[in-house]
Amino acid sequence: MGEKKRLKLSTTQIILFSFLVTILLGSALLALPISAADGKAVPYLDALFMATTSTCVTGLVTLPVATTWSLFGQIVILLLIQIGGLGIITIMSGVMLLLNKKMGIGDRLLIQDAFNLNTMSGLVKFVKNVLVGTLIVEGIGALLYMLVFVPDFGAKGIWISVFNSVSAFCNAGIDIVAENSLCNYATNPLINIVTSVLIILGGLGYIVWWDLLRIIRSRSPKGCKKFRHLTLHSKIAIVTTAILIVVGAILIFVFEYANPMTIGEMSLFDKMQAAFFQSVTTRTAGFATIPQEHLTNASTAVSIILMLIGGSPVGTAGGMKTVTIAVLVCSALATIRSKNSATLFGRRISEGAVRKAVAVAVTFLTICTLSTILLLATSDASALDAFFETVSATATVGLSRNFTATLNVFGKMVVIMTMYLGRVGPISLAVALGGKNENQIIISDPTEDISIG
C-alpha cells in the first residue's frame, strides 16, 4: 500500500476557507434569539446573509440592521466587519504578535497572500502598522462622528459612532443609524466629509499609506516634486482614485441636478456634496445619502461603472481595483498605438501584470453576468435592478435599488455566493481551485496566429 496522502491546503485555500468558517460561525451566532432585537431568532438564511454581507464587507441586507438586531447581534456584526475588512489572517497574526509568538514561514506566506504582496520582507512590521493604523483612523473617525450622533441619539450615539467608523473604514456600508442608511444626513457636511475620508483611506490601501508617509518624512523636494518619489503602484492608485471620484461626482451632479427625487430640491452646495458622496460611496462603501432607486438611468450607469472598478489593492475595498483598470486601459492604448509594451508614469508594465489584470476583469464580469442571469430567472426584477444588485454584491459595495429585501430564497442564496466570490477575489478563487501552477510546465504548447477584433 502506498503512503496515505495528507490533506495539504495552499495558502490561498486557507484564506478562502478562513472567510467561509468566519461566515458560518457568525451566522450561527446571529441565528441565536439573543442576537435579535425582539428576542425571537431570525430565519437562518437571513442570519447567513447578514454574516456573509458583514464578513465580505458588502452591506446588502435583507433585514434592517438598526431595528432587527440586538446590541449583542450588532456587536457580532461589527466584529465580522472588522475581521472581514482586515482579514482573518491579519487578526490572527496580530494575536500572535501580542502573545510574542514568532511567525514561521507558513505564517508569513499567509500574510503575503492575504495582502497580495510581492515580497515577504518586513511582514511583521507591516502587520503591526496595519493594525495600529486601522485603530487610529477608526478611533478618530468615531470621535468626529460623536459630534453629531451623541447630540442626536444621546449615549447611544457613542456606539453608533464606533459602529459607523469601523463600517466606513472597512468599506462595509452597514450602519445602525436608520433604515434609510444616511439619507437623513445627506446635507450634513461633517457626516459627508468624515464618511468620505474613511472610505477613501480604506480604499486607497495600506501600501499607499506607508508610501505617502515615507515621502512626507523624507527630505525629498517639496510640493508636486514629491509625487515623483512615490512608487508606481501608489501613483496609479492615487491618480486613478482622484479621477474617478471627480469625474463621477461631476456626472452625477449633472444627471441628478433637476431630479426632485434625489438632489433636485437641494441647495447648490448640498447638491455638490451629495453628488460627491455618491461618487465616493460607490467605490465599494455602500452608504447612501440619496435613494438609489430614484437615480436617473444615466446616474445608475455611472454608479455601476464606479462600483465595478472599486478601490485599490491591499486595502479594505472591493471591485476590480483601480490599478487593474489602469493597466487594462494603458495596455489597450499601447496595442492601438502599436507599441511593444504599456507604460505608466515612465515605467513599463510587466506582461504578468497585464495578464493578471485581464484574468481579474474577465472573472469578475463573468461572476456578475451569471449572477444577474440567475436573479432574472427567479424574480420579476428589471434587468437594471438585477445587474445593479449583482455588481454591488460582486464588488462588495452594498448599494441596492430596494431589491435586496424582495429576494426570495433562491435569490438570497445567489447573492450570498456572489458576495463571497467577490470578497475572496477572482484570482484567489482561480488559484485555489486550479491546482498546479502553469509555470511548472516546461514544455510549452505550439503557437498559432489568430484574428482579433
DSSP string, 120-162: -TTHHHHHHHHHHHHHHHHHHHHHHHHHHHHHHHTTHHHHHHH
The reply to whether 284 falls in a domain is yes
- Report the phi/psi class of residue 7: left, alpha or beta, with left for phi > 0 and alpha for psi in -120 to 50: beta
Q: How many domains does the chain have?
A: 1
Question: What is the residue range of 356's domain?
Answer: 11-431
> What pLDDT shows up at residue 433?
46
In the DSSP assignment, the letter for residue 253 is H
From CA 333, how far away is CA 38, in angstroms rounded?
Answer: 58
Q: Are 207 and 311 in contact (CB under 8 A)?
A: no
The reply to whether 2 falls in a domain is no
Q: Are 248 and 282 in contact (CB under 8 A)?
A: yes
Q: Are 374 and 414 in contact (CB under 8 A)?
A: yes
> What pLDDT shows up at residue 282?
93
pTM (predicted TM-score): 0.86
> What pLDDT shows up at residue 104?
60
> What pLDDT shows up at residue 309?
93
For 370, other C-beta atoms within 10 Å of its C-beta total 15
Report the C-alpha dihedral over residues 263, 266, 272, 276, rounded to 10 degrees.
-40
Spell out a b/e string for 116-138, using b for 16 or more CB atoms within 10 Å of the CB, else e: ebeeeeebeebbeebbeebeebb
Q: Are 82 and 197 in contact (CB under 8 A)?
A: no
From CA 385, how far away is CA 87, in angstroms rounded?
Answer: 30
Place of cell 453576468: 369
344 - beta bridge partners?
347
Q: Which three cell numbers stand for residue 105?
A: 514561514
The reply to whether 163 falls in a domain is yes
Cβ contacts of 235 within 8 Å, gap of 6 or more: 227, 344, 345
Cβ contacts of 50 within 8 Å, gap of 6 or more: 26, 27, 30, 61, 62, 63, 65, 69, 77
Long-range contacts of 8-11 (CB under 8 A, 24+ apart): 10/431, 10/432, 11/106, 11/109, 11/110, 11/112, 11/113
> What pLDDT shows up at residue 452?
59
The reply to whether 436 falls in a domain is no
HSE-up of residue 390 (Cα within 13 Å, Cβ side): 24
Q: Are 53 and 418 in contact (CB under 8 A)?
A: no
Quickly list DSSP for 54-68: HHTT----SS-HHHH
Quickly list DSSP for 278-343: HHHHTTTT---SS-GGGS-HHHHHHHHHHHHH-S-SSSS--SS-HHHHHHHHHHHHHHHTT-SS-E
Separation in Å, CA 349 to CA 232, 263, 337: 10, 41, 16
Grouping H, G, I as helix, E, B as strand and the rest as coil, residue 28 is helix
In the DSSP assignment, the letter for residue 177 is S
Q: Which three cell numbers stand for residue 316?
A: 479594505
- pLDDT tens sequence for the chain (453 residues): 444 444 566 666 777 788 889 999 999 999 999 999 999 999 999 999 999 999 998 999 999 999 999 999 999 999 999 988 877 666 666 665 565 666 665 556 556 555 555 555 666 777 788 888 889 999 999 999 999 999 999 999 999 999 999 999 998 989 999 888 999 999 999 999 999 999 999 888 888 888 888 887 776 566 556 777 888 888 989 999 999 999 999 999 999 999 999 999 999 999 999 999 999 999 888 899 999 999 999 999 999 999 999 988 877 788 888 989 999 999 999 888 888 888 888 888 888 888 888 888 988 999 999 999 999 998 888 999 999 999 999 999 999 999 998 999 999 999 999 999 888 865 555 444 444 444 444 455 676 656 555
The reply to whether 440 falls in a domain is no
The reply to whether 205 falls in a domain is yes
